[in-house]
Amino acid sequence: MADNNTPLLKVEHLTKEFPTGSGFLGGRFSKKVVSAVNDVSFEIRAGETFGLVGESGCGKSTTGRAIMHLDPPTSGKVYFEGKDISKMNKAELKDMRRDMQFIFQDPYASLNPRMTIGEIVSEPMVIHGIGTPEERMDRVRELLDVVGLNPEHINRYPHEFSGGQRQRVGIARSFILRPKLIICDEPVSALDVSIQAQVLNLLKDLQQQYGTAYLFIAHDLSVVQHISDRVAVMYLGKMVELSDWKSLYAEPNHPYTQSLLSAVPVPDPDVQKSRKRIILAGDPPSPIDPPSGCRFHTRCPIAQGRCAEEVPEFREIGAGHFCACHYATPFPIKESYIDL
Amino acid sequence: MAKNNDTFVDLKTQPIPEGQHLLEVDDLKMYFHTEDGVVHAVDGVSYTLDRGETLGVVGESGSGKSVTAMTIMGLISMPPGKIEGGSVTYRGRDLLNMSEEEMQHVRGNDIAMIFQDPMTSLNPVYKIGRQVGEGLRLHRGYSKQEALKRATELLDLVGIPEPEKRVNEYPHQFSGGMRQRVMIAMALACDPDILIADEPTTALDVTIQAQIIELMQEMQEKNGNAIIMITHDLGVVADMADKIMVMYAGHPVEFGTADEIFYESRHPYTWGLIRSIPEQATDEKKPLTPIHGNPPSLVNLPQGCAFAPRCPYATELCHKERPKKFVMDNGHYSECHYADDDAFVKKFAPDTSRSRGTMPTAIPDNVDVAASKGGEA
Amino acid sequence: MQYPMNTMGEQVRAAAAEAHVVANGSDKPTRTLWGDAFKRLRKNRLAMFAIVWILIVVVIAVTADLWVPSVLGDPNASDTATMVMNSRLAPSLQHPFGTDTLGRDVLSRVIYGARISLTVGIVATGISTAIGLVMGALAAYYGGIWDTIIMRLADIFLAFPYTLFVIAMIAVIGNGIQNVFIAIGILGWPSIARVFRSAILSVKESDYVDAARSMGASDARIIARHIFPNSVASIVVYATMNIGGAILTESALSFLGLGVVPPDPSWGTLIQEGQKYLQTEPWLMIMPGIAILTTVLAFTLLGDGLRDALDVKMKDA
């Protein structure tokens, strides 16, 4: 089954719901659920970067955690190299985790403050019983050098490093087993712009060196676009648009993607002053009781009556370009498409 | 809180002395004395600000951009902080030598500040209406009812739906974007001269960030107040700042109008910041050119130019001598040994000419942007 | 707008931290978290006084057999000669704390009392902590039904007045020093379990535990390497304070005649004996009272100091 055509990761109809509240017996009898991720499907090919973008609460991080089985999905399937993760036993899951690693958003919270850098970076090797202690430390030194840290700092503690340096430690840890896929959950959003660029370049270099695929989760569209081969946009638990990075920017079809693009600040006063912007009103609705039909219709500038009733299909509108909007069409929208 | 409204002079009604600006910061120095040594947090900051103007203060964490603002507001605890020199003059009055009592009247009334995290700045146990109206009761002697009425109006003004209902709610019932709107309403309650915004949108999503920036600009148009916008993201200040001060290691390294900073910058650090931002591209992705290394320790500053260790163009001179300001006729200045060298600037500055071409706006032509008001959830 | 100074404290701290990005591979020596904590503890005067006081008490108690009987007199003397000559003397150079009805030196008895009180404090706390750690860890890590059972059990224990519960238990198993250990130790676990459980729960949610899980780490490894080292600080603090509490409970028991059996001196029995002479020879009760007060206070202050020193949030400021 695992031939060349099998995608590295295949996600099918992934849905994740959390019970709300902490009522009697942890809300086990409450019917209300937070619909964090709803029917999301996509594939990641070996060696590519797949960007997942959306605002906070859109379910992009939950998707990453569900794939990693940190929070197992409510329904839907995740296949890693053709194998169904939910059917794996403990040993198989552990093996899978050698090939799938995670980089966290918060470089302060994701490193154990009581462990040295050497212990932190070598931990995956220890867990999977690889190498002797000396070999591990040699590998750690090598990797610290690769990620741009001083290998002599192997015995230091995380609190002695700046945010950007800590994120490099996290990256070194995720690469030490040379995994096939790394899920990067907002790896640069806690960093300053200048440090952010360093880390993005590092991730690109490492990808070229090791051929690792990334699932790159972020809220910053320009960052995601910069690093990704393909980009998916999520809104309130649903995937609304998916395409290669070029056409997502050149021809955003979903009105939400368009508003996200127009909201990204551009470091160019002339462009910034002259361009038109769609500023969405209000906040995203609560995922406890998501809007009927298209979940975006309450904030959509082009919503029609149909949008509140019918859930739009996630359909292919161009080669490899998917969009979930009744009125999706490469911009500019032609008058005839609007069903008044 | 002191209630002596008799002795209280409303500074913002005082005339600005002839030849002076609304706010003048001159060679301000504020150091922290800690166990690890003296932290040169603010090391010689100067600027002027007039009503209706927006100053963008840009720099990485540790550049002293927030500490400068908090020093002006008198919010640094001394010790460990200590003013080592310079002055801050607001409408001809020296803010640094004011008593704490006088400063309490200035804070919120004349100069207001909003912070990155609106949650820690709002008191969780009081209703929103009370917190928004508190400044009015304190500084203006409003009664409880008057303050609540005005708070409702203010919430309406900053675009919070159903303000009559929401004044009676608590901070945790508001989303992040809504809390930041509340902070802006609080800050604007007493109609301040100056609004200092410290990374007000960093914790927010881009679509919400766009709302907040638009709101701040709208409010400025209505009230004519000055804004000091502190951010690490040059993109945020591109269209809202009149003047931009780029700070590095507690010190301004370049100062100029937004156009000068973006199109005619003469400092390698500013270039580095511009090159670090991923550009939205439709054809080829341009590689990012980050600034290497990390900001220097503010305890042991390099001997020469503080940026020299990270500067790709640094020479021996840069490592030895601290550069002087190179001031151009229009007031644009840069602290770089080579700022006056046109050939150097031409050779190394990023291509930020205005001829970069226009960016697609990504907005269908038939969408009426002004009418794009979605429903409130 | 108001700038309440309590929230402003946070902002100032953040600003100071911002101004204080030092890292950047400077070559200062590696500091560990515990090392840093000790450095901060050393700056806390009250905590240092407490440590010094506890050390003095411990050293005196441990070395008592070597010098106390010869210098101050046998604490448990019962011969008539001593009794006739020395009964109820006021404090003097020879007997700094005075003597009791049987002519025994009170300082000597207070010192031997310290041996018993300290041992009870430490051993009983050790027992409580051991039980509390296991129970708290089970409840927090496995959650669900374990959590419900253990925490409801703890609630039941906590619902009874503690001292009464101990008294009831002593009444069942009989008095004597071992039984005091057991009673105080066993009944002290619920609060330790609660503290440890909540510490674990907060650590369990942290990203580095998720990171370890995502690497495929076993439960045992996650508990031993990640959760335990990061939640144990709160237990160190709590256990330190608990020692003082245990000493107090033991004194109360002995005062009621339920703890240590005379003639062995414990601070509680000394007070109980002394209270009859409060009007005429007040030192008989005051001196052991001061011993309890200072020692319990010292453990509490030390606990407070440790809590401040170990607070990770303060380290960046």
Calculate mean pLDDT across residues C51-68.
88
CA distance B75 to chain C (A): 7
Which of A101, A104, A112 is best to mutate for the C interface (most C CBs within 10 A)?
A112
* Predicted confidence band of residue A136 (pLDDT cuts 50, 70, 90): very high
Contact A258 B272 (CB under 8 A): no
Calculate mean pLDDT across residues A101-125.
89
User: For residue A12, what are the β-bridge partners?
Assistant: A77
* Predicted confidence band of residue B40 (pLDDT cuts 50, 70, 90): confident
- Residue C13 falls inside a structural domain: no
Which chains reach chain C with 3 or more Cβ–Cβ distances below 8 angstroms?
A, B
Residue A155 DSSP class: G
* Predicted confidence band of residue B234 (pLDDT cuts 50, 70, 90): confident
Which residues in chain C are closer than 8 Å to B296, comparing Cβ atoms?
24
Bigger pLDDT: B365 or A159?
A: A159
Cis peptide leading into residue A330 (ω within 30°): no
Q: Taking a contact as any Cβ pair under 8 Å apart, which residues of chain C between 11 and 40 contact chain B? A: 11-12, 14-16, 18-24, 26
Tokens in use for C308? Answer: 């401040």
Interface check B314 vs C, CB under 8 A? no
Residue of B70, B107, B293 lying closest to C12 (CB–CB): B70
Beta-strand pair A230-235/A238-244: antiparallel
CA distance B237 to chain A (A): 8
User: Can you give the pLDDT at residue C55?
Assistant: 93
Contact C216 A127 (CB under 8 A): yes
Q: Domains in chain A, ordered, with CATH?
A: 9-228 (3.40.50.300), 253-340 (no CATH)
Residue of C15, C20, C21 lying closest to B76 (CB–CB): C15
- Amino acid identity of residue C185, one-letter, is G
Tens-digit pLDDT profile for residues B149-204: 888 888 887 778 888 888 888 888 887 778 888 888 888 888 888 989 888 877 77
Contact B67, C15 (CB under 8 A): yes
Calculate mean pLDDT across residues C96-109.
80
Per residue in C56-67, is it b (16+ CB within 10 Å) or e — as a string? ebeeebeebeee
Contact C21 B61 (CB under 8 A): yes
User: For residue A37, what are the β-bridge partners?
Assistant: A16
Contact C31 A153 (CB under 8 A): no
- Residues contacting A235, CB < 8 A, separation 6+: A54, A55, A58, A256, A284, A295, A296
pLDDT, averaged across chain B: 80
Percentage of chain B with pLDDT > 70?
89
d(CA B231, CA C159): 53
Q: Which residue has the tokens 């071409």?
A: B357
Tens-digit pLDDT profile for residues A253-269: 888 888 888 888 877 88
Bigger pLDDT: A282 or C54?
A: C54
A135-139, B272-276, C16-20 — which is least confidently predicted?
C16-20
Q: Which of A125-129, B348-352, C7-11, C223-227 has the highest mean pLDDT?
A: A125-129
d(CA B175, CA B73): 28
- Residues contacting C258, CB < 8 A, separation 6+: C167, C170, C171, C175
Calculate mean pLDDT across residues A99-103.
90
Query: Is the Cα torsion angle B108, B110, B111, B115 positive or negative in sign?
Result: positive
Tens-digit pLDDT profile for residues A60-96: 888 998 998 888 888 998 999 888 988 888 888 888 8
Search chain B and give the residue with CA nearest C12: B76
Domain harbouring C194, CATH code: 1.10.3720.10
Residue of C33, C212, C315 lying closest to A114 (CB–CB): C33
* Predicted confidence band of residue C137 (pLDDT cuts 50, 70, 90): confident
Residue C30 DSSP class: P
Q: What is the largest CA-CA distance in chain B?
A: 67
Which residues in chain A are closer than 8 Å to B176, comparing Cβ atoms?
56
Tokens in use for A101? Answer: 């690693």
The H or E element spanning position B39 is strand B37-49
Tens-digit pLDDT profile for residues C268-299: 888 888 888 888 888 888 888 999 999 999 99
User: Can you give the pLDDT at residue B86?
Assistant: 87
d(CA B282, CA A248): 9
Contact C23 A161 (CB under 8 A): yes
* Predicted confidence band of residue C125 (pLDDT cuts 50, 70, 90): very high
- Residue C143 falls inside a structural domain: yes
CA distance A68 to chain C (A): 7
- Owning domain of residue C226: 33-310
User: Can you give the pLDDT at residue C52?
Assistant: 94
Beta-strand pair A9-19/B54-58: unpaired
Helix axis angle for B206-223 and A255-263, nearest 10°, is 60
Which residues in chain B are closer than 8 Å to C15, comparing Cβ atoms?
41, 66-67, 70, 76
Calculate mean pLDDT across residues C151-172.
86
Contact B45, B68 (CB under 8 A): yes
Cis peptide leading into residue B163 (ω within 30°): no
CA distance B32 to chain C (A): 8
User: In this model, does residue A240 exceed pLDDT 80?
Assistant: yes
A138-147, B46-55, B347-356, C43-52 — which is least confidently predicted?
B347-356
d(CA A58, CA C235): 39
- Residue C24 falls inside a structural domain: no
Contact B148, B167 (CB under 8 A): yes
Contact B310, B60 (CB under 8 A): no
Which of A116, A119, A120, A160 is best to mutate for the C interface (most C CBs within 10 A)?
A160
- Residue B268 phi, psi dihedral angles, 5° rounding: -60, -30
- Residue C106 falls inside a structural domain: yes
- Residue C11 falls inside a structural domain: no
Tens-digit pLDDT profile for residues C181-205: 888 888 888 989 998 898 888 888 8
Contact C212 A123 (CB under 8 A): yes
Tens-digit pLDDT profile for residues C241-260: 899 989 998 888 888 888 77
User: Can you give the pLDDT at residue C124?
Assistant: 92
- Residue C15 falls inside a structural domain: no
Q: What is the DSSP string of A169-231?
A: HHHHHHHTT--SEEEEESTTTTS-HHHHHHHHHHHHHHHHHH--EEEEEES-HHHHHHH-SEE
Which chains reach chain A with 3 or more Cβ–Cβ distances below 8 angstroms?
B, C
- Residue C7 falls inside a structural domain: no
Contact B295 C24 (CB under 8 A): yes
Interface check B285 vs A, CB under 8 A? yes
User: In this model, does residue B231 exceed pLDDT 50?
Assistant: yes
Which residues in chain A are closer than 8 Å to C212, comparing Cβ atoms?
112, 123, 127
Tens-digit pLDDT profile for residues A289-307: 888 889 998 888 888 888 8
Contact C176, C169 (CB under 8 A): no
The C-alpha angle B138, B142, B144, rounded to 5 degrees, equals: 100
Interface check B173 vs A, CB under 8 A? no
Which residues in chain C are closer than 8 Å to A176, comparing Cβ atoms?
none
User: In this model, does residue A220 exceed pLDDT 90?
Assistant: no
Interface size, chain A vs chain C, as Cβ–Cβ contacts under 8 Å: 81
User: In this model, does residue C312 exceed pLDDT 80?
Assistant: no
Residue of A105, A113, A170 lying closest to C230 (CB–CB): A113
d(CA C73, CA C61): 15
Helix axis angle for C106-142 and C283-310, nearest 10°, is 30
Interface size, chain B vs chain C, as Cβ–Cβ contacts under 8 Å: 87
Q: Which residue has the tokens 């100032």?
A: C12
Task: Work out how many domains chain C is built from and give that number.
Answer: 1
Bigger pLDDT: B227 or A163?
A: B227
User: Can you give the pLDDT at residue B356?
Assistant: 45
pLDDT, averaged across chain C: 80
Q: Which of A338, A244, A246, A247 is nearest to A300 (CA)?
A: A338
User: In this model, does residue C180 exceed pLDDT 50?
Assistant: yes
Tens-digit pLDDT profile for residues A3-29: 566 789 999 999 998 877 544 444 455
Calculate mean pLDDT across residues C96-116.
83
Calculate mean pLDDT across residues C18-34.
49
Q: Which of A82, A44, A83 is nearest to A64 (CA)?
A: A44
User: Can you give the pLDDT at residue A139?
Assistant: 92
* Predicted confidence band of residue B41 (pLDDT cuts 50, 70, 90): confident
- Residue C98 falls inside a structural domain: yes
The C-alpha angle A190, A191, A194, rounded to 5 degrees, equals: 160
Contact C213, C225 (CB under 8 A): no
User: Can you give the pLDDT at residue B113?
Assistant: 86
Tens-digit pLDDT profile for residues A207-218: 998 999 999 999
